[in-house]
Amino acid sequence: MNRIGENSLFINMLKGKIHRATVTESDLNYIGSLTLDENLMNAAGFGEYEK
């Protein structure tokens, strides 16, 4: 097995998705991707800062 950095390949895979969510606010000047409610993240099985 190779050590990290030696001919390693990392693949991002879709863990899940949130379907039919309701947008409650939008801000064109928001710096970042989006903000999700903590309860919604927990229900979907997403962790904080997860890619």
For 6-49, what is each residue's pLDDT tens digit?
Answer: 677 888 888 888 889 888 888 888 887 788 889 988 988 898 88
Residue 6 lies in a domain: no
- Cα(36)–Cα(49) distance, integer angstroms: 11
Residue 10 lies in a domain: no
Tokens 């939008």 belong to: 26
Residue 2 lies in a domain: no
- Cα(4)–Cα(29) distance, integer angstroms: 38
Residue 2, pLDDT above cutoff 60: no
Both tokens of residue 49? 């800062």
Enclosing domain of residue 26 = 15-51
Q: Residue 46: name the closest of 23, 18, 26 by CA.
A: 18
Question: Domain tally for the chain?
Answer: 1
**Stated pTM of the model:** 0.54
